[in-house]
Amino acid sequence: MLDTVCGRFAPTPSGRMHLGNALCALLAWLSARSHGGRIILRIEDLDVNRCPKPYAQLLERDLDWLGLDWDEGGSYSGAHGPYYQSECGTFYAAALKKLQRQGLLYPCFCSRAELHAADAPHLSDGRVIYSGRCRNLSPKQVRQLSRRKRPAFRLRVPEETIAFTDGCQGFYSQDLASECGDFLVCRSDGIFAYQLAVVVDDARMGVTEVVRGRDLLSSVPRQMYLCRLLGYPVPHYFHIPLLLAPDGRRLSKRDSDLNLGSIRSSLQDSRPLIGLLAFLCGLLPKPQPLTARELLPLFRWSSVRRENIRIPAQLYRVPAKGRLMIDTKGT
């Protein structure tokens, strides 16, 4: 039974938080806290070389500055640790074994070039549907190929449509075989795949709701399938719009001019930023400085926009050095 609400922040600290990450943290916080729920901070540093520890520490300070508190995780201890995915390998290995015992895993020796062959069907999100090349290798072929290369592991998917209702985006369905294909659960370098890790961690941490960017909406059917195979409850999902720069490009951690570091240096406190984020996502009719706590009574998922949000140019002024700064006087 999913009774008490438990939300989570699950950032990948491969750089300083940007505005879109801040919006995601704000909405995850509002959603859980508006129901008196708990929040866990989980650091998704599976690829530990891409996530230097100082970024996770800065992230905690940025969340503090935003006024978004959490109950356990990050540098706080609690009942559901470890909270850094780089320390959770034994949990993922146990889940992998469980899938293996069901006969659903197979080693895949395909190179990147083979996966991205010209005739491979591409999905709108740029992913390639796996051709099934290694699906039916004989034990002898596996032994031979293993001598030359360490394999990745894929999970067989059934011919089945998985449907669910997202709390922000509404109805969504995907045919696993034709729209997704057998997917990776462990990479050839031994790093567990995001899809597996996220499902294992949400379950072992008792997470009941997942709030994240809508770029991950198409992952849900895979994650629901994994929940079923591993005997986990399925959390409620809320996929929020992405923030786009005024020129329409997606914000990324590489755009250092839009990160919390430069935003914080241009503001005395976080209220103008919270007000701007609330306005952009549909919770306020105009940007007006306020704290996350003051926003709680105004929060409802039905007010949150579904479509990606282009930040209007007039909300930004670009000084000579090219650093973007928030100008909350504009509307």
User: In this complex, which beta carbon is closest to ligand GLU, that of residue 59 or of residue 96?
Assistant: 59
Distance of CA 243 to the CA centre of its chain: 14
The answer to whether the CB of 122 falls within 8 A of the CB of 180 is no
The smaller minimum CB distance to ligand GLU, of residues 220 and 315, is found at 220
Question: Using the rule CB under 6 A, is 174 a contact of ligand GLU?
Answer: no
Smallest distance, Å, CB 110 to ligand GLU? 25
| Cβ-based nearer residue to ligand GLU, 229 or 242 | 242
179 contributes a contact to ligand GLU by CB under 6 A: no
Determine the 3-state secondary structure of 279 from DSSP: helix
Query: Smallest distance, Å, CB 50 to ligand GLU?
Result: 11
> Which CB contacts under 8 angstroms, 24+ apart, belong to 79-84?
80/40, 80/204, 80/205, 80/206, 83/40, 83/41, 83/42, 83/43, 84/42, 84/43, 84/45, 84/56
209 DSSP assignment: E
Three-state secondary structure call for residue 259 = strand
* SS3 category, 60: helix
Work out how close the CB of 202 gets to ligand GLU at its nearest, in angstroms, rounded to a whole number. Answer: 8
| Closer to ligand GLU by Cβ: residue 50 or 305 | 50
Give the contact letters, 8-27, x = binds to ligand GLU (CB under 6 A), - = no.
--xxx---------------
Reading the block at residue 226, the tokens are 């994994």
Establish if 270 lies at the interface with ligand GLU (CB under 6 A). Answer: no
Residues in the chain: 331
Neighbouring-strand partners of residue 155: 105, 183
Distance CA 42, CA 82 (A): 9
Q: Which two tokens stand for residue 66?
A: 């935003």
Q: Is 329 designated active site?
A: no
Whose Cβ is closer to ligand GLU: residue 11's or residue 74's? 11
Q: Is 214 in the site for ligand GLU (CB under 6 A)?
A: no
Between CA 284 and CA 65 the distance in angstroms is 21
Q: Cα separations (Å) of 117 from 51, 57, 110, 141?
A: 30, 40, 11, 22
Catalytic residue among 149, 253, 286, 329: 253
Give the total of residues touching ligand GLU (CB under 6 A).
Answer: 7
Nearest distance in Å: CB 41, ligand GLU: 12
Q: Does 260 bind ligand GLU (CB under 6 A)?
A: no
Q: Note whether 212 binds ligand GLU by CB under 6 A.
A: yes
Choice between 11 and 287, CB closer to ligand GLU: 11
Nearest distance from residue 18's CB to ligand GLU, in Å? 11
What is the closest distance, in whole angstroms, from the C-beta atom of residue 21 to ligand GLU in the complex? Answer: 7
Joined tokens for residue 111: 């190179």
Residue 258: other Cβ atoms inside 10 A = 25
CB of 330 vs ligand GLU, minimal distance in Å: 29
> Which CB atom, from 235 or from 287, has the smaller least distance to ligand GLU?
235
167 binds ligand GLU (CB under 6 A): no
Contact string 31-60 vs ligand GLU (x = CB under 6 A): -------------x----------------
Question: Is there binding between residue 198 and ligand GLU (CB under 6 A)?
Answer: yes
Q: What is the DSSP string of 137-160?
A: --HHHHHHHHHH-PPEEEE---S-
Residues forming contacts to ligand GLU in the complex (CB under 6 A) are 10-12, 44, 198, 212, 216
| Residues taking part in catalysis | 253
